[in-house]
């Protein structure tokens, strides 16, 4: 693809993003949790997150760091650190080549785990368990889309028997323009997610061979 074609596609992508809400509900009431996909603007907007009852954010973009700290620690000496109003998780994916496929498997396990994580009753863990979840990346159109698609395929096999079914659903719910689909998500991320799906299914099959007492 030559430079003018790239510029035309970039302009189309920018126009589509400008006309799209920063985040969308992908699956309502997933075991009591609404699951959203969004972009950098959504993840960095505390008022918007609170409006939708979002209590946990999973940022899966390596090249996007967010400072959500609203309770700076008193021993911060250089850059501020401390707690945010919500639970914040990070998975550093590259939007293109460079990710080991294992990172998509790790992302699935992280998303599945954070949705079931139970907060201890300690002052150092001031957040409630549960609440709705946002998965974001920079544009909310590639990395977050593939991760949530993988999650749906593995967790709701009856509704999404293939990864492609799940991707189609997330694209539609996220209101991605068809012109974006060839790179939303990136094909190399789809390949990694297919590997991750097979690996997750293999792990489940292995677990089923364990004695009941050894299963988690």
| Mean per-residue pLDDT, 97-109 | 97
Is residue 191 helix, strand or coil? helix
Sign of the alpha-carbon dihedral angle for 190, 174, 106, 157: negative
- Which structure tokens are listed for 187? 């094909």
pLDDT by residue (tens digit) across 137-161?
999 999 999 999 999 999 999 999 9
Q: Which domain CATH number covers 44?
A: 3.90.190.10
pLDDT by residue (tens digit) across 11-39?
888 888 888 999 999 999 999 999 999 99
211 falls within a domain:
no
**pLDDT recorded at residue 12:** 81
214 falls within a domain:
no
Please enumerate in sequence order all residues whose Cβ is within 8 A of that of 10, keeping only pairs 6 or more positions apart, or say none.
none
- Model confidence at 3, pLDDT cuts 50, 70, 90, reads low
| Mean per-residue pLDDT, 120-144 | 95
- Model confidence at 42, pLDDT cuts 50, 70, 90, reads very high
Give, in order, the Cα–Cα distances in Å from 165 to each of 2, 16, 25, 81, 94.
Answer: 32, 23, 17, 40, 23
104 falls within a domain:
yes
Q: Which residue did the predictor score with more confidence, 66 or 8? A: 66
**Domain range holding 123?**
17-66+84-206
6 falls within a domain:
no
**pLDDT recorded at residue 6:** 66
**pLDDT recorded at residue 76:** 81
Stated as kind and residue range, the H or E segment containing 92 is strand 87-93
Q: Is the pLDDT of residue 5 over 80?
A: no
Please enumerate in sequence order all residues whose Cβ is within 8 A of that of 14, keeping only pairs 6 or more positions apart, or say none.
none
Number of domains in the chain: 1
- Model confidence at 55, pLDDT cuts 50, 70, 90, reads very high
76 falls within a domain:
no
91 falls within a domain:
yes
Over pLDDT 90: what percentage of the chain?
A: 75
4 falls within a domain:
no
77 falls within a domain:
no
Please enumerate in sequence order all residues whose Cβ is within 8 A of that of 134, keeping only pairs 6 or more positions apart, or say none.
23, 36, 37, 38, 42, 43, 49, 52, 54, 56, 57, 58
């Amino acid at each position: 693809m030559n430079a003018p074609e790239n510029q035309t596609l970039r302009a189309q992508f920018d126009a589509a993003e400008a006309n799209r809400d920063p985040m969308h509900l992908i699956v309502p009431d997933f075991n009591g949790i609404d699951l959203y996909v969004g972009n950098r603007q959504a993840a960095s907007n505390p008022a918007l997150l609170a409006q939708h009852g979002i209590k946990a954010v999973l940022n899966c973009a390596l090249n996007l760091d967010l400072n959500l700290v609203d309770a700076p620690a008193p021993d911060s000496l250089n850059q501020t650190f401390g707690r945010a109003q919500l639970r914040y998780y990070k998975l550093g994916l590259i939007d293109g080549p460079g990710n080991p496929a294992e990172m998509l498997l790790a992302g699935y396990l992280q998303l599945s785990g954070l949705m079931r994580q139970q907060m201890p009753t300690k002052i150092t863990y001031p957040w409630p368990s549960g609440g709705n979840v946002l998965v974001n990346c920079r544009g909310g159109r590639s990395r977050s889309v593939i991760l949530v698609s993988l999650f749906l395929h593995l967790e709701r096999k009856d509704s999404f028997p293939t990864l492609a079914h799940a991707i189609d659903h997330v694209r539609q719910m996220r209101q991605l323009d068809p012109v974006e689909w060839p790179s939303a998500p990136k094909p190399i991320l789809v390949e990694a997610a297919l590997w991750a799906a097979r690996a997750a299914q293999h792990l489940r099959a292995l677990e089923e061979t364990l004695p009941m007492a050894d299963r988690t």
